[in-house]
Amino acid sequence: KQRDPDQPEFHQAVEEVLRTLWPFLEENPHYMKAGIIERMVEPERVILFRVPWVDDAGKVHVNRGYRIQMNSAIGPYKGGLRFHPSVNLGVLKFLAFEQVFKNSLTSLPMGGGKGGSDFDPKGKSDNEVMRFCQSFMTELYRHIGHNLDVPAGDIGVGAREIGYMFGQYKRLANEFTSVFTGKGMTYGGSLIRPEATGYGCVYFAEEMLKSVKRRIEGQRVAISGSGNVAQYAAQKVIELGGKVISLSDSGGTVYIEEGMNNDHWHYLMDLKNVRRGRMQEMAEHFGLEFLPGQRPWGLQCDIALPCATQNELDIHDARTLVENGCMCVAEGANMPSTLDAVDLFIEKGILYAPGKASNAGGVAVSGLEMTQNAMRLLWTDGEVDAKLHSIMQQIHAACVNYGMENGRVNYVKGANIAGFVKVADAMLAQGIV
Ligand code: NDP
């Protein structure tokens, strides 16, 4: 904290890990002796660069670009790029730190990284977004590679942005390699990658519910966000017979009392991915209630899936959810719950899954995309979905294995220890580097 006082999100992510990891480290002092923690909290490399671009009116803009290469002990750096005005070094370091544990949990050989820019794609034309992406990649291309660092999407970076960045990378590097995941299906993408984070989150929630002999069918599910993760979490919940009662964006929440149906879902996909509109339009179109400026946590629900952004669920929200009878919280977003909210969930015995476990499906299928690219073949959607499902079940089992506490599973502890051990053992084996 003294070294980087202006990085509260990074401190929060590290504190969350260390609180549960500490007793394990005390029992296993060889990790401490080798300085594993001191090394894990320091990125292997940080790249920071200028991204100049010209808007449609001819005006010059300058954004800041970043790539955090956090840890490569178990594989090439892997993690998404985020384009959002709130992006700064501390936010990306928190995301990169989380990514190290998450990627380890998938059991695939991927190290951790994260990057992005404070560029805001909202309200920009396709041409402006393309010029920005090309400028961003003109610098980043020299720092990434299919055996070095493989970026993907995150907030503000979807199929359109990945396409533009991949195109520019290929042009500069003069080769076609698997340097990005989340690619389009015409140029090396994997089936089920767009669905993977949302589906994976619901598969994980299903496993938690199964362990207490419950299921998703018939439950009221509050979802926040309306982007990639929220869209496919909603689709899977509907498929499994649950009732999706909300979606949101930074303008507010749409309340769908009767539960979302397929018409709502198709409208949402067009609204967010093609027209790039706001949730208020969806409420107006279907005559649904809109709660301006509000998050969905005041609604009565059995399951909550926060799928928007960090710290979107605080202690007040957590109390309201518990009072309203919510029994399960599975994070689709990264670190959406504040530390005190997490404490309350655990204290009250809520089935609570931290994002590094429950949203690992996205990067898992990214790993499978790299495998398919390396083999130069394409698996069917059924094959990829079955592998995703099995990985989420394995992550759940790993959390149970390491997280048992007084007859209950503490998924935070389970995920942190299980994710840590593989990376730490690889670092030990590789010496002090
Ligand atoms: P998208 O850009 O597709 O969607 C983001 C959603 O969150 C939008 O509805 C957006 O609303 C909302 N949102 C973003 N920032 C804020 C904010 N500061 N306040 C309120 N609402 C906000 O991103 P994704 O769906 O891909 O990502 C969502 C979360 O899931 C992130 O935490 C991401 O790190 C995490 N994640 C994503 C993975 C993936 O595969 N895509 C993998 C693992 C984790 P608005 O449009 O109004 O800003």
Across 400-426, b (16+ Cβ under 10 Å) vs e yields bebbeeeeebbbbbbbbbbbbbbbbeb
- What digits encode the pLDDT tens for the residues 137-172? 999 999 999 999 999 999 999 999 999 999 999 999
Predicted local confidence at residue 3, as pLDDT:
84
Nearest CA residue ID for atom 27, ligand 1: 155
Active-site choice (93, 102, 114, 356) = 114
From the CA of 189, how far away is ligand 1's center (Å)?
A: 21
Told to judge if 59 belongs to the known catalytic residues of this protein, a careful annotator would answer no
Nearest-angstrom CA–CA distance, 140 and 320: 44
From the CA of 308, how far away is ligand 1's center (Å)?
A: 4
Predicted local confidence at residue 150, as pLDDT:
98
Residue of 114, 180, 250, 282 to mutate, ligand 1, most atoms within 8 A of C-beta: 250
Is the pLDDT at 59 greater than 90? The verdict is yes
From the CA of 332, how far away is ligand 1's center (Å)?
A: 9
Is the pLDDT at 244 greater than 90? The verdict is yes
Residue of 229, 294, 359 to mutate, ligand 1, most atoms within 8 A of C-beta: 229
Nearest-angstrom CA–CA distance, 151 and 169: 12
Is the pLDDT at 346 greater than 90? The verdict is yes
Quick check: 37 and 112 in contact, CB under 8 A? no
- Residue 280, class by beta-carbon neighbours within 10 Å (0-12 exposed, 13-18 middle, 19+ buried)? middle
Rg (CA), the chain: 21
Predicted local confidence at residue 2, as pLDDT:
82
Predicted local confidence at residue 41, as pLDDT:
98
Q: Is the ipTM of this complex over 0.85?
A: yes
Ligand 1: nearest atom to the Cα of 152: 40
Ligand 1 binding pocket (C-beta < 6 A) is 84, 86, 153-156, 158, 197, 225-230, 249-251, 307-309, 332-334, 359, 362
Mean pLDDT, the chain, whole residue set: 97
Predicted local confidence at residue 1, as pLDDT:
79
Predicted local confidence at residue 14, as pLDDT:
97
Predicted local confidence at residue 235, as pLDDT:
98
From the CA of 225, how far away is ligand 1's center (Å)?
A: 6
| Stretch 43-59: mean pLDDT | 98
- Residue 353 has a CB neighbour count (10 Å cut-off) of 28
| Stretch 254-262: mean pLDDT | 98
Nearest CA residue ID for atom 33, ligand 1: 333
| Stretch 271-277: mean pLDDT | 96
HSE at residue 142, side-chain half, CA atoms within 13 A, is: 6
Residue of 105, 155, 201 to mutate, ligand 1, most atoms within 8 A of C-beta: 155
From the CA of 118, how far away is ligand 1's center (Å)?
A: 14
- The angle at the Cα of 407, spanning 304 to 392, to the nearest 5 degrees, equals 45
Predicted local confidence at residue 256, as pLDDT:
98
Token couple for 181: 């995941």
Instruction: Report residue 175: phi and psi, to 5°.
Output: -155, 155
| Stretch 166-185: mean pLDDT | 97
Q: Which of 182, 193, 314, 291 is nearest to 245 (CA)?
A: 291
Is the pLDDT at 96 greater than 90? The verdict is yes
| Stretch 251-271: mean pLDDT | 98
| Stretch 381-407: mean pLDDT | 97
